[in-house]
Amino acid sequence: MSQPGPNKFQTTAPLPIPSAHPTVESFFPFKSRVESINDQRPENSRLKAVLVGPWVMAGVTDGKRNITADPRSIDTLLSMPSSADLVSLRPFTLERGMQNEGPILLTRHAANATLLAVPHPQSPSRAAAMDATFRLVPGADGACSDGSQGVEGGPLLTPGRCVSLEPMGHPGQRLRQQHDGSLTVVAGAGAGVSPSVFTVAACSEPGNLCLLGASAGDKAGASPSIHLLAPAAPQYPLGSRVLKGLDSQYLLVPIGQIIDEHYTTYFEFLDPPAAVSM
């Protein structure tokens, strides 16, 4: 190769660009832990905060904050909620055969701490949007409340599937439909009061789905119990977790993601029953 002369530069062909650049991907999962409250009073000795990596987690609640669980096993108590199968609901008034306006809003009844379903406001806050959003879960035992045997397998939003409804902000709880068509929130299966298991069905409007409950068959020609709508809250807040104990579950949200929800940053961890030795 000849050397360049004065005031001249050696030119070379550009290096070829690889068709596929090698990349290195790393995943560093956040470590979960609990921290006791900085309070020496005996009545607060069980209060602990839950942290996931750098996040202090706020538990969405209407006042309750106790959980029966071993805080030393916090990694096994936490899971990530799925935003799949979220819906909002518009009830049908069975007596008149007319639809109520708006999806259902979940509110707490002050007298007996029961969650009731009532019409949703026109301009909801995020807390109200979460209260008006529910997650479809497979019905217990595969049978619907009307006695029919549901379709097995496939997406939950399939006509013939038997499903229950879990409030978005209250994991582990379920909706129960009373004989008058009203809806209340009860603890999950096995807590003494069985939740309703609805049948997914096609509505009269093409492409729309409804839920049929046991009470819908009480009157001849009754309209479908519940009309399914797009979820008021389309997904769980970023970084959400579900904290599951023996007696209760909580939706945890990084405190920086809290907007207007009622929450607690400390949980009262109660000791699980001692294992019975054989």
> What was the pLDDT predicted at 224?
58
Bridge partners of residue 148, in order along the sequence? none
Per-residue pLDDT tens digits for 76-115: 999 999 999 999 888 765 444 445 556 666 665 545 546 6
Strand 104-109: give its sheet, edge to edge: 104-109, 114-119, 183-187, 173-177
Q: Domains in the chain, ordered, with CATH?
A: 32-80+237-270 (no CATH), 86-229 (2.80.10)
**Cβ–Cβ contacts within 10 Å for residue 157, how many?**
14
DSSP state letters, 18-36: PSS--------PPPEEEEE
Task: Tell me the whole-structure pTM to 2 decimals.
Answer: 0.78
pLDDT < 70 regions, the chain: 1-21, 92-117, 120-123, 141-143, 145-151, 188-192, 205-207, 214-224, 275-278
The whole-angstrom distance between residue 65's C-alpha and the CA centroid of its chain comes to 18
Inter-residue contact 239 to 253 (CB < 8 Å): yes
Q: Which two tokens stand for residue 170?
A: 């209250």
Task: Tell me how far CA of residue 245 lies from CA of 31, 156, 263, in angstroms.
Answer: 19, 26, 18
Inter-residue contact 106 to 115 (CB < 8 Å): yes
- The position carrying tokens 């909580």 is 250
> Which are the contacts of 63, defined by CB distance < 8 A and separation ≥ 6?
262
Task: Tell me how far CA of residue 72 lies from CA of 76, 244, 271, 272, in angstroms.
Answer: 9, 14, 11, 12
> What was the pLDDT predicted at 137?
92
> What was the pLDDT predicted at 213?
78
Inter-residue contact 159 to 178 (CB < 8 Å): no
> What was the pLDDT predicted at 15?
61
Backbone torsions φ then ψ of 151, nearest 5 degrees: -70, 135
With H, G, I as helix, E, B as strand and everything else as coil, classify residue 270. strand
Percent of the residues in the chain that have a pLDDT greater than 70, as a whole number: 68
Inter-residue contact 120 to 90 (CB < 8 Å): no
Q: Which helix (H) or strand (E) holds 130?
A: helix 126-131
Between CA 154 and CA 11 the distance in angstroms is: 63
